[in-house]
Amino acid sequence: MTGPVALVVNGVPAPATDVPDDERLLDTLRWRLGRKGTKEGCRTGDCGACTVLVDGETTLSCLTLTHEVAGAAITTIEGIADDGLGRRVQSAFAEEDALQCGYCTPGFIVAVTGVLAELGPNATRESILDALQGNLCRCTGYLAIQRAVERVRGGTP
Amino acid sequence: MTFSLERPETVGEAIRILSDPSYAPAVPLAGGTDLLLDVDEGRIPARTVVSLARLPWRTLHWEGDTLVVGATLPFAKLPAEAGVRTRLPGLVDAVEAVGSLALRHRATLGGNLGRAAPASDVLPILLAVGAVVRLVSASGEREVPIGQFVRGSRETSLARAELIESVAIPSAPRSAYVWQRVRPANDVSQVGVAVAWAGAPGAWQVALGGVLPTPVRVAEAEAQLPNDPPTAAEIDLAARAAAAGAAFTTDKRATESYRRRLVSTLVRRGFARAMAAGGVP
Ligand SMILES: Cc1cc2nc3c(=O)[nH]c(=O)nc-3n(C[C@H](O)[C@H](O)[C@H](O)COP(=O)(O)OP(=O)(O)OC[C@H]3O[C@@H](n4cnc5c(N)ncnc54)[C@H](O)[C@@H]3O)c2cc1C
Ligand code: FES
Ligand code: FES
């Protein structure tokens, strides 16, 4: 079967019609709604490239059925800088050159934003890095990514 | 399209769809972190996928000294609940070992039991503390001890159109789960060891995951631990006894002999961690 789904993507209602029952949120975002910032790496939950926020929680869009998140507020990389924290994370990645090929970067920026919001201002560096373990960078630029996280935590603009 | 999705609002409706031949084969969906891949790759045939998301099972409460975790509560919600970390530290160790935080925002305990994976990180601690699975079907409710519930990889004692409603987990303030993997996140544990003190002399419980097709309690190791707290020599004997057990699996993740060494090391680490959790020097 197919059916309509009322998503709110980056604060804007994004109704989708005729969404197949087995469609993943990743595909709805990329191919139906044209938000191609969210990347597909593995499609099996292993890499984190497809991370989006669903009602504020980091979520692997490749393992999530679109119909299961009907009505939820979805935040993708395209909307991450609409909010102060997301904007700081995004500029910290730029300042620290925390990307090489850039393929993992949308997933990382969304994940860092979601994790910092979820764990709160008193979270330890270790707990933040633990919560980011599901995001892989094939270019292995992890040190710069860690510096970007530190920059946001330290409040450097 | 591979399947159609039903999103029932009541348990009765979910069970009705799962039993109705016109939907068959029909399978329940919790977080989908196992099921969607199993369906995609043809390991589980499904014409209808029945979402449990609207059922009132995203719950967690204490019944006296027993924690009752609703089948569809995402793992990520569990460690933060009041009292869980102090009363069941081994369960928190196990839950936090699963995948990554983003995965745990969707993956559930009901789904982990439904999958019954040999290397599940959650089953060993449930075995060690003596958890009981609460099931519901058209013929009513029943309770099955975890050791009888899991029968093999993807094999459980669930009847057709029967659902896991919740899991009752006795508290164990001195408990721990420790594991070894090639990569810490999103990888399958080569070996996982759960230890728990069940509150009576001679009642240290030791369970292993990842070494056999199902997680197992190791009576030979437990027999070496008559005292509380156990002495270093007793723990050493228990570690050797656990590693000397049945023929362990060899697979792409580890050889049998490496698994034996891991078991021995992890049993020692598990005791150190469980005693630290319970405040024993
Ligand atoms: C990248 C990745 C990493 C992972 N890492 C780990 C790990 O470290 N440790 C680990 O243990 N597991 C891991 N897993 C496996 C998986 O995430 C867990 O087993 C998880 O707990 C499954 O829960 P779920 O809610 O997603 O289940 P689902 O996929 O929704 O369901 C799993 C099975 O259980 C059945 N089911 C679900 N709910 C019920 C119910 N209430 N009653 C009856 N049957 C039910 C389904 O029909 C299905 O057969 C990983 C998976 C992925 C993709
Ligand atoms: S594409 Fe979703 S985790 Fe890799
Ligand atoms: S920058 Fe290339 S994958 Fe991370």
The pLDDT tens digits for A58-73 are 999 999 999 999 999 9
Q: Which CATH number fits domain A2-76: 3.40.50.1580, 3.30.70.270, 3.10.20.30, 1.20.1090.10?
A: 3.10.20.30
What kind of architecture, by CATH, is found in domain A79-153?
Orthogonal Bundle (1.10)
Is A138 touching ligand 2 by the criterion CB < 6 Å? no
Which residues numbered 92-151 in A keep a CB inside 8 Å of some CB on B? 111, 114-115, 118, 130-135
Amino acid code (one letter) for A25:
L
Q: Which residues of B touch A114 (CB under 8 A)?
A: 102
Q: Going along B37-149, which residue ranges are E strands?
A: 48-51, 60-63, 66-70, 132-137, 140-145
CA–CA gap between residue B106 and residue B128 (Å, rounded): 25
pLDDT digits (tens, 9 = 90+) for B133-159: 999 999 999 999 999 999 999 999 999
Give pLDDT tens digits for B76-132.
999 988 899 999 999 999 999 999 999 999 999 999 999 999 999 999 999 999 999
| pLDDT of residue B59 exceeding 90 | yes
B86 touching chain A per CB within 8 A:
no
Q: Which atom of ligand 3 is nearest to the CA of A108?
A: 4
For the record, the structure tokens of A111 come out as 């994940």
Range B50-53 contact pairs with CB under 8 angstroms and sequence separation of 24 or more: B50/B5, B50/B6, B50/B8, B50/B14, B50/B17, B50/B18, B50/B23, B50/B26, B51/A65, B51/A67, B51/A68, B51/B5, B51/B6, B51/B7, B51/B8, B52/B14, B52/B28, B52/B110, B52/B163, B53/A68, B53/B7, B53/B29
Nearest CA in chain B to A44: B37
How far does A58 lie from chain B, in Å, by closest CA? 5
Can you name the residues that pair with B141 across neighbouring β-strands? Answer: B136
B5 close to B140: Cβ distance less than 8 angstroms: no
Q: B182 at the A interface (CB within 8 A)? A: no
Q: What pTM value is reported for the model?
A: 0.96
Given an 8 Å threshold on Cβ–Cβ distance, is B99 in contact with A45? yes
Task: Please compute the mean of the pLDDT values over residues A110-121 and round it to a whole number.
Answer: 96
Nearest to A45 among B4, B53, B186 (CB): B186
Domains of chain B: 4-51 (3.30.43), 60-170 (3.30.465.10), 190-277 (3.30.390.50)
- Amino acid identity of residue B167, one-letter, is V
Domain ranges of chain A: 2-76, 79-153
* Residue to substitute from B55, B96, B105, B188, interface A, most A β-carbons within 10 A: B105
Give the HSE-up count for residue A110: Cα atoms under 13 Å, Cβ half-sphere: 32
